[in-house]
Structure 1
Amino acid sequence: MSISTDIIQAFTPTGVLRASINLGNPILANRNAQTGEVGGVSVDLARAFGAQLGVPVELVVFDAAGKSVEAVTAEQADIGFFAIDPLRGQHIRFTAPYVLIEGAYLVRNASPLQNNEQVDQAGTRVTVGKGSAYDLYLTRELKQATIERAPTSPAVVDTFITTSSDVAAGVRQQLEADAQRIPGLRLLPGRFMVIQQAMGTPTSRGEAAAAVLHAFVEEHKRSGFVAEALKRHHIEGASVAPAESRA
């Protein structure tokens, strides 16, 4: 793909491609405990896009989705990796999704809740990561249950335990890992939502830049790059979003 100088400049006003990376979603990014190095599917995509533009990549790393969104909204980062949400779409132009991720509920073994439909009832307290896609979705969808917010998605289960909340909500893989770490917990069957994970850039960068980013994502789904990245990072429970048909 030939990319014009104007488009490259739109993505790199500081001379480098600043990629906002959210460590709050372990499916897409993580920090190596031994080396401190940040890696994952979103990091691979950021570096691949930088290579396509022919520019260096700077990773701007956050521990929560909300902070990552704020960085792109404030143009402190040039691209980011987010769940598509209409509220976020006011300031960020999204590509089509590249990965689909399940959102799940976790409860104590003794909880009377047996399925997702039973969660939204008066008196039920649901803990979710502040500013996460799950927070945005449940804020719209839950009519009777009360939402309580942990500082980050990885902190949801620990907050759920310490506050004696009724339900923890978030990325299925994170909840499964926490259920193995802490005895007496179980996941409710199925999923309450599917996250459409996409790349995004500030709306101010213009439609032409957004179109280039969109085309990049479609090509990397179609080529098998995203599938190979999921396999390379040993990610289970996420699937590659279908590529859009060519016009």
Structure 2
Amino acid sequence: MGPRSLVVTLVVAGCAALTAAAAAPVDPPPRSRLDVVTARGELRVCSTGDYPPFTHLDPETGEWSGIDVEMARDLAARLRVRATMVRTTWKTLTDDFVAGCDIGVGGISVTPERARKAAYSKHSFVDGKAPVARCADVDRFTTLDQIDQPGTRVVVNPGGTNEQFARANFRRAAITVHPDNTTIFDEILTGRADVMVTDAAEGRYQSRRRPGLCAVRPDEPFTRTEKAYLLPLGDAVFQRWVHQWLDRALHDGTYHRITTPWTG
């Protein structure tokens, strides 16, 4: 075969390969959760329902309320779909979100562990861990060292950042896990526990509603924690939509209107 014949053969072969590649079926790009939610007509919202002022499920009426619950409903309204609340627990939050929800809300702290399975929105709230105790005992629990003493009874709710914080910082104090975060502050008021370290926002909220209970130095928390919403991992389209919605809500008065009744 001469040089010219070889060139012609290579060109023909190359064209045939390009034609075959062009004719091969191309998989469509995966649908964004934005399209799925819109087509479904429903935004599925995972939340624990036990963390006011961010999320609360009334055990008697079954009604949901809270800052982040109302924000999720605003998001659904902007999408022109209904919001359906899906109850979860702090221990199973991330797995339940991945398995069946479009967004997770309710005072969710940004942590590296959760980021392995889910993305986050921009943060909506900045908070930190601070003690809650009987008002008569406020001066006993202003520092970590004061709390971490033999004889101090620390109570925590299971599976979330409160339990993680307590186990990382308290070696001498006794830690008790109370399974119900809606009644956990009664453990302190009745004297069965001495102190809980939780988000300052929750401490303020509970101290306003429970005489005898006081948030300890809530303006000077032990940590800095960003609160955000869980979003599907790898879905840039849905993430951008939620980011833009949240940015607008934070600046057009929507977030302020929703938070004021809860935070005063």
What's the TM-score once normalised by structure 1's chain length? 0.74
Once residues 98 and 89 of structure 1 are traced to their aligned partners in structure 2, the CA distance between those partners, rounded to angstroms, is 17
The question of whether the paired residues in 2 share the 8 Å contact of 1:24 and 1:65 is answered with no
**1:133 counterpart letter in structure 2:** T
Once the two structures are superposed, residues 68-103 of structure 1 have per-residue CA deviations (whole angstroms, 9 ceiling, x without a partner) of 444213x22110112212222221211121123454
Tell me how far 1:186 sits from its aligned partner. 4.3
CA distance, structure 1, for counterparts of residue 121 and residue 203 of structure 2: 23
- Structure 1 distance, partners of 2:102, 2:131, is 33
2:94–2:114 Cα contact (<8 Å) kept: yes
Amino acid at match of 1:152: D
In structure 2, the partner of 1:241 is: none
Aligned residue for 1:83, secondary structure, equals: coil
* Residues 102 and 195, structure 1, Cα contact 8 Å, conserved in 2: yes
Structure number with larger C-alpha Rg: 2
Larger mean CA deviation between 102-111 and 48-57 belongs to: 102-111
- 1:188 offset after TM fit, Å? 2.8
In the aligned structure 2, how far is the partner of 1:215 from the partner of 1:20? 21
| Aligned counterpart for 2:237 among listed residues 208, 226, 234 | 208
Q: Which residue number corresponds to residue 35 of structure 2?
A: 9
Matches within 5 A, 1:1-247: 6-9=32-35, 11=37, 16-31=42-57, 36-62=62-88, 64-73=89-98, 75-81=99-105, 82-108=108-134, 109=136, 113-117=140-144, 118-122=146-150, 124-160=152-188, 164-170=192-198, 171-177=202-208, 179-180=210-211, 183=212, 185-190=213-218, 191-203=221-233, 206-231=235-260, 234-236=261-263
Number of residue pairs aligned between Structure 1 and Structure 2: 226
User: Over residues 33-84 of structure 1, what are the superposed CA-to-partner deviations in whole Å (9 max), with x where a residue is unaligned?
Assistant: 885432232222212222333333211134x4334444213x2211011221
Counterpart of 1:97 in 2: which secondary structure? Answer: coil
Aligned partners of 2:63 and 2:193: how far apart in 1? 34
> Which shows bigger deviation, 94-103 or 104-113?
104-113
> Could you tell me how far apart the structure 2 residues matched to 1:107 and 1:114 are?
8
- Tell me which protein shows more strand as a share of its residues: 1
Higher helix share: 2
Q: Normalising to structure 2: TM-score of the pair?
A: 0.70
What residue is the counterpart of 1:243 in the other structure? none
Query: For structure 2, which runs of at least 5 residues remain unmatched after alignment?
Result: 1-30
Alignment RMSD: 3.3
